[in-house]
Chain A
Amino acid sequence: MKRTLIAIALAGALAGCSGGGGAAGESASPPAAGSSAAQPATAEKYAVITHGAVGDSFWDVVKNGAEAAGKQYGVTVTYQGDGDPGKQSQLIDQAVSEKVDGVVVSMANPDALKEAIGKAVAAKIPVVTINSGADSAKAFGAITHVGQSEEVAGRGAGEQLKAAGVTKLLCVIHEAGNVGLDQRCKGAEATLGGTVERLQVDVSNLADVTSKVTAKLQSDKAVNGVLALNPAVAVAARDSIKDSGSAAKLATFDLSGDVVGAIKAGEILFAVDQQQYLQGWLPITFLHLYKTNLNTVGGGLPVNTGPGFVTKDNAEQVAKLAESGTR
């Protein structure tokens, strides 16, 4: 008993001392074990802090973009994601404590992050906002915003769906509390000219998504369009449409290998692609250029990465790219 106790205490202390050379020197040098990518030890470090849940297929592409850019420029890029604005705010505080060279933040809830971003700006750390919160970016002191306006994208989707003859649209919201998703539905509502009904599902339970959408299609025959806001949900919805024998048209936001395959097969009409890879890649580029050359991009206006539309025409080429996690 005593020995086990001493063993544990020693193990803890030893692990503390030996863990990959981080003990001496600044926090900028990455530890040997578990670093996000094989980075050469340089002085530049950027923290990407998003509101996307870990493992989300959409944000994974953003992460890949950021990490690829890091490799390209030989800088360290760390990625953290948390949907809770309080926790996200704390992660930004941490990055500021670590004195990183730049912070990339997605602002699903700008008000909640205002203070933390303000601290970063006050500490002379450049901030680039991505994805959501474009309206507040400049006011908070970000050097630029990279993203796609959710509402603009929603409008684009609505127009396309209208052209395809959809009059009653089911807008599937997969993350309760996500402001951006709500804005997509709103945008589609504005241009569709018909009725839009929101359906709440839980992205962490895809079988549930299928059954909920099926139930809706079966109970309301007037629904002739389904708009998914996430590639995993889109695939689940496609199954629903098949199961219920509905003739509803399906469109989605964001890509995945499965979604592109479904577009090729004619099961999905189109996907609104905000090219989130760029939302990872470009900010690192901008911050690196800012650090080395004091460049700013955009002239005060956001840099738009979308909407791009993936349809049957370009699906083939995009398919190959989606599989490697870059689209």
Chain B
Amino acid sequence: MILRTQAIGKSFGSVLALREVSMGVEEGQVTCVLGDNGAGKSTLIKILSGVHRHDTGAYLLDEREVRLAGPREALDRGIATVYQDLAMIPLMSVWRNFFLGSEPRKSFGRFDVATAKRVAREELKAMGIDIRDVDQPVGTLSGGERQSVAIARAVYFGARVLILDEPTSALGVKQAGVVLRYIAAARDRGLGVVFITHNPHHAYPVGDRFLVLNRGTSLGEYGKADVTREELTALMAGGAELDQLAHELRRDA
């Protein structure tokens, strides 16, 4: 596996945000991390992307244990994260955003603007993303388009693992479908994708492995063959609790 965690845990002061979570992702596969709000998904991503360091357990890249110093190191090792707020600057153009932090250089430290524009356009096309004008500010793109630019950016910069933090949560049905298509495209290009979401209906079609988190711990890690969509939903929502609730909510006959 490219990326793997072994019983990883993290506390913030007295709060145990994450405990005993084991998961992994392979090349060319999608691992979905599911869980309701407050399940510990964002803590997990922050550990995977280098923002936080884990307190217990092990974080393995290519089967070698690591402690990432920061997001920059994660990026350098090929772990690209696309956050909910997209790490995009709305007022800046698509091509500027595309190369932000990794600008191509000419002699004398100049920013190679021509190359940047050309590559941005080409890469977006290669992912099947049809952006009208790479000069337009990112803020004028639709939600789905912004996500796709972020994904194309990660793919171009040689990411081996792509971590997506709730990419479809704020999108409508059609747009969500578009994003799922790009996730599949990234997977097909050989990346390992970690897809975090609280919507099992989005996760199921595209996922190969599923990790369900609840209140900071893992309820299990399943392969696609081992679980159905309904079972996933039930697991996530705390099936037993929902049954009980349904009972309470029933009208009196």
Tell me, yes or no, whether A and B come into direct contact in the complex with CB atoms closer than 8 A: no
Q: Which B residues lie at the A interface, using CB under 8 A?
A: none
